[in-house]
Amino acid sequence: MKKSVNEYVANCESCIRNKHSNQVPPGLLNPIEAPDKPWEEITFDLITQLPESEGFTAILTVVNQLTKMVHFIPTINEANGVDVANLFLTYVWKLHGLPRKTISDRGPQFTSQFLKQLHKRLDIKPSFSTAYHPQTDGQTKRLNQVVELYLRHYVSHRQDDWVGLLPLAEFAYNNGVNVSTGKTPFFANYGFHPKFAVGDKEGQGLAIADNHAEWLQKGYDELKAALTVSQERMKEYYDRKHRAPEEIKVGDQVWLDNRNIQSQRPARKLAAKRIGPFKVLAKIGKQAFKLELPHTLKIHPVFPVALLSLKRNDPYERDPPQPPPEITPEGDIEYEVEQVQDSRRHRGKIQYYVKWLGYNEWTWEPYEHLTNAPELIADFHRRHPRALQHPQVPRPPRT
């Protein structure tokens, strides 16, 4: 009996749309594979909306995936794809050459047509974080917090001198031991510790260049091994709080979690938890899917599996299912008006007698509930020019 009840509730569409899930999120961690050489793979991001300092209002952060060396580059909030490319040329390329792969979020600076074409010409593979899944670029997001914390400690009261602090922040970070690698980014990248204060002993280099090169290669191998172990530990911890995702295939229907879609409704607490179902068009990577969204929902159509749940075939006979409601650009559920038949004044307000698409009942509704049906209301007044008309409805032209 309990099994039947659970199965019946599990296939209830109203429950699926509105019930809060008490399960751990689906989707296990898939760490990015550690690269073989320094500066083969980099991640970058922007810290914006900073108080102006020397004409700058933002910071471009660049991180080397293997050695964890970073560069902090002052820029402006309005930086575009061309600006990012020039900053990379000025501050990164001259020191480390071209990367094989870049990782970033989907900011307009990083997804511009200019950068896409430039990546193609330079044989660089861009990789973008999935919508609402910041774990893809989590390393850079965490670094941004470290930079902001450092500047918060040392910036002046007017907060207008942070540009001069960036070289110190970069050096301090690169000369600190990284938890993942067990080495400082500076030593991991160059094979020696920098001299940064009077009285320090200079790093002891090897006499023979060949031995030094072999020693560096051995160090890179150790870094990769340390990163792999660190990622395995991170995956183990992450997976404790997540469950294996459902098997979703192209063509399946899925529900989409509504938590990241902005709503204009008065209270999110009473809004639907999930919208859909939507058809799966393609699998992107290991744990993301492209959905067939309605034209009214103008958001990026690729979502991580953690935000999706499979729509199952309902084995129980229920009332005939109603057609799915329209989804507004804000992700709100909106039912479609099929026909307008009459109008009246009720308690001082104009109401319209309407039939909803897929429903047999007719209801009296105030004009404010029918803002998605201006053509039907206008057509009703063209057919019935003497009917009561709401003042916001344009009057039909005289014939």
Domain map (residue ranges) of the chain: 2-24+245-323, 41-195+220-239, 335-383
Structure confidence at residue 40 (pLDDT): 92
Amino acid at 175: N
Whole-angstrom Cα distance, residue 260 to residue 307? 9
Q: Calculate what percentage of the chain has a pLDDT beyond 90.
A: 14
CA-based torsion, 197, 198, 204, 209: positive or negative? positive
Whole-angstrom Cα distance, residue 35 to residue 102? 12
Whole-angstrom Cα distance, residue 15 to residue 17? 5
Whole-angstrom Cα distance, residue 329 to residue 131? 16
- Domain 2-24+245-323 sits in CATH at 2.30.30
* Assigned CATH class of 41-195+220-239: alpha beta
Whole-angstrom Cα distance, residue 284 to residue 270? 32
Read off the pTM: 0.50
Which tokens go with 32?
Answer: 């990015």
The whole-number average pLDDT for the span 182-208 is: 68
Burial of 133 (0-12, 13-18, 19+ CB in 10 A): buried
Mean pLDDT, the chain, rounded, equals 74
In this chain, the answer to whether the domains covering 2-24+245-323 and 41-195+220-239 adopt an identical fold is no
- Residue 330: which pLDDT band, with cuts at 50, 70 and 90? very low
Reduce the DSSP state of residue 336 to 3 states and report it: coil
Question: How many residues belong to the chain?
Answer: 399
- Residue 76: which pLDDT band, with cuts at 50, 70 and 90? very high
CATH 2.40.50.40 fits 335-383, yes or no: yes
Contact 283, 246 (CB under 8 A): no
- Residue 130: which pLDDT band, with cuts at 50, 70 and 90? low
Structure confidence at residue 151 (pLDDT): 72
Reduce the DSSP state of residue 19 to 3 states and report it: coil
Kindly report, residue by residue over 356-368, the tens digit of the pLDDT.
776 666 888 888 8
Can you name the residues that pair with 16 across neighbouring β-strands? none
